[in-house]
Structure formats: C-alpha cells, structure tokens
Amino acid sequence: MATPFDSNKGKYAATDEIYFKVRKFDDQVIGVRMKHPATNEPPTEAQQSVQTKFTNLIGQVKTALADSEQKATLTKEWKAQKRCKTLRGYVFSKFSKNLNP
C-alpha cells in the first residue's frame, strides 16, 4: 500500500508500522501514528540521564519564572536579545547552557 503523503520527513525503518485514519466523506487524513518495535524496550541509562537532566531543567525554569524578582531580571535580559521569541524559551536556553552535554 502506498503512503498517502506527498512527502515524508525523517527516516523510517523497514520494521516501522504506520497507522493512519482517513475520513470517509472527504478522504482527509486525520491522524498518523508510527510504531516501532524498539519503542517497547525500557530506556537505556544514557536516555534516563537525559530525561533526568531535562526534568531538572524544567523544574529550574518553573522556579525561576515563579520568583517575581528573578522573572523581572530574566525579562529584561530577554527583551535585550533577539534570538528567542518567548521568555520561557529564553530561560530554558539560558539554563540549558549550564548542563553538561
């Protein structure tokens, strides 16, 4: 069966299964879900460490934005730069530089 999409972004493995739903009255694709057999495996230690760092980073961002003094300082820094479009994105980017890759 041919894929219903004009183009695909990303790399699909030969073992992937792609599920999609099509509305009957206009043949519109309304949902796509990919399933790979490897997704049922538990995360590796490296993946767990990244997940832990990301969770800690999200907590730092929430804490910083909840504190009014720190939020005011971060807002001034954010308005002075042009790279990040949102304050939350700027704070996330700033705090993520402190993490080890």
pLDDT band at 81 (very low <50, low <70, confident <90, very high): very high
Q: What is the share, in percent, of the chain residues with pLDDT greater than 90?
A: 34
pTM over 0.85: no
Residue 18's beta-bridge partner residues? 34
Tell me the mean pLDDT in the region 66-70: 95
CA distance 66 to 46: 30
Rounded mean pLDDT, 26-48: 69
Cross-strand partners of 35: 17
Q: Measuring CA to CA, which residue among 1, 6, 7, 38 is closest to residue 19?
A: 1
- What local confidence, expressed as pLDDT, does residue 86 receive? 92
47, 53 in Cβ contact below 8 A? Answer: no
